[in-house]
Chain A
């Protein structure tokens, strides 16, 4: 009885199998438009394949007394689903996006003030959380808020054959056996946020992180290009 618990666990053996040379690892075509709404202080809509999220940022502005924090700004994130009212699932997405933004924003520069980030889902065709993160980052950039680093979201799926698929569509997500979304920061390419579904080995996880870090390069390059396009004299 006592020894059985030790015997069953063998983390090493799993690393030998399931080594997968992912063949078709790519990001769907993606795009972004900034400053498309007149009311918010910063806005963006991010499109990954058919998945699309719109983001609006207000602030820094006056904060409600009950939410006031004396040494930094209060960030509120709202995720609006396309159909119906926000549910528990949206709450957990809000938590993920909020804590990621809090880590990258320099909130202590705006004490006793409020920031609101609203994310409206326009279409969900897989990799929704990563699209939300990307839209959020672009909106924060558009609002001109001071940040210590940028971040981007990458979703990886592992299908039944053990292959890694980046930026999966809804159909690929459904068929996958595990699904992981990471937020990667722009300075050291480390993991800021992680949210997973399904079970997977340690080795698969590390592989997905490595793939996400590679994919993040492409997205950060896109961020750079879009800023260059906006602010250079000759577009």
Chain B
């Protein structure tokens, strides 16, 4: 009966739960799904992390390569994020070139990296105007169940914290770079941006960490990214029904709490790896 109701009237089905201040999966409105983090999941990558939020699974691998800095910014390296939504993660995605959602997500992650200054691109420069690091951050969705932006940011942050770059020296005689894979050091992470996504139901009800179904039924979505100082790195609301300043403030408060939660999680996991070694 309930299954039939759910398929025939998905919106009514969700509304009946929201009326009771809970959601079909048993969560409260302002409750995130269980977030599980594993770092160093890919041994061949320079840094990696796997994040699972409910069913949504994102794996992030970081590949560092040596390159020439651009002419405009000789003292800077660069970071190239890419979000991949392959057909394996959901039936809604088709094979072929990245769709609009994947492109918009990649752009959003790039904006967050730039806005939050999680890594200063100056740190990636090895020899001014000659040599720098390029960090290719590939985020792949393995299971799509909504809220990929949050999961991507967590995966990216954890993977960056896990990244170990080899030492590079420049041979004075040949001017060729020499990589010493034995000696590695971590990246300097300046900020810890963490996102919190929300969905708006029926123009007024805010829910946290939406699933794919909730996303498709909602009238608006927004993502708030905050760092550890409580500053905002991004307030991304691509459209949908309008929200007042007060409502946005509620979202921001929730996002700051989420930031602390996740930063603690990342720190603890990183710490556990260090002590285990």
**Separation of A112 and B27 alpha carbons in the complex (Å):** 36
Minimum distance in angstroms from A203 CB to a CB of chain B = 10
The interface-forming segment of A30-38, A48-56, A97-105, A161-169 is A97-105
Nearest residue (CB) in B for A92 is B107
Chain B hits for A205, CB < 8 A: 232, 235, 248, 252
**Separation of A193 and B236 alpha carbons in the complex (Å):** 8
Within 8 A of B (CB), among A1-49: 1-2, 5-6, 8-11, 14
**Separation of A198 and B245 alpha carbons in the complex (Å):** 20
Q: A95 contacts B231, CB within 8 Å?
A: no
Q: For chain A, which range describes its interface: under 10, 10 to 19, 20 to 34, or 35 or more residues? A: 35 or more
Q: A8 contacts B235, CB within 8 Å?
A: no
Nearest residue (CB) in B for A5 is B264
Minimum distance in angstroms from A73 CB to a CB of chain B = 16
**Separation of A205 and B244 alpha carbons in the complex (Å):** 13
Is residue B240 contacting chain A, with contact meaning CB distance below 8 A? yes
Query: Of the candidates A88, A178, A188, A194, which one forms a contact with B237 in the assembled complex, judged by CB atoms under 8 Å apart?
Result: A194
Nearest residue (CB) in B for A185 is B242
Is residue A94 contacting chain B, with contact meaning CB distance below 8 A? yes
Is residue B163 contacting chain A, with contact meaning CB distance below 8 A? no
Chain B hits for A102, CB < 8 A: 239-240
Q: B243 contacts A190, CB within 8 Å?
A: yes
**Separation of A185 and B234 alpha carbons in the complex (Å):** 21
Is residue B35 contacting chain A, with contact meaning CB distance below 8 A? no
Is residue A233 contacting chain B, with contact meaning CB distance below 8 A? no
**B103, B243, B267 pick with most chain A CB within 10 angstroms:** B103
Is residue A199 contacting chain B, with contact meaning CB distance below 8 A? yes
Contacts A10-B230, A191-B242 given; indicate if A1 touches B271 (C-beta within 8 A).
yes
Is residue A109 contacting chain B, with contact meaning CB distance below 8 A? no
Chain A hits for B263, CB < 8 A: 5
**Separation of A188 and B243 alpha carbons in the complex (Å):** 9
Contacts A199-B116, A199-B231, A199-B233 given; indicate if A99 touches B107 (C-beta within 8 A).
no
Q: A6 contacts B115, CB within 8 Å?
A: no
**Separation of A192 and B230 alpha carbons in the complex (Å):** 23
Chain B hits for A190, CB < 8 A: 242-245
Is residue B117 contacting chain A, with contact meaning CB distance below 8 A? yes
Within 8 A of A (CB), among B228-277: 228-245, 248-249, 252, 256, 259-260, 263-264, 267-268, 271
Q: A9 contacts B229, CB within 8 Å?
A: yes
Chain A hits for B106, CB < 8 A: 88
Contacts A200-B231, A201-B230 given; indicate if A95 touches B100 (C-beta within 8 A).
yes
Nearest residue (CB) in B for A195 is B236
Within 8 A of A (CB), among B191-240: 191, 219-220, 222, 227-240
Is residue B178 contacting chain A, with contact meaning CB distance below 8 A? no
A-B contact pairs, 19 of them (CB 8 A): A9-B229, A88-B106, A91-B104, A92-B108, A96-B239, A100-B238, A101-B239, A103-B220, A184-B242, A190-B243, A190-B244, A190-B245, A191-B244, A194-B237, A197-B111, A197-B234, A199-B117, A202-B231, A206-B248
- Pairs of residues from A and B, 5 with the lowest C-beta to C-beta distance, nearest first: A99-B239, A190-B242, A11-B230, A100-B239, A92-B107
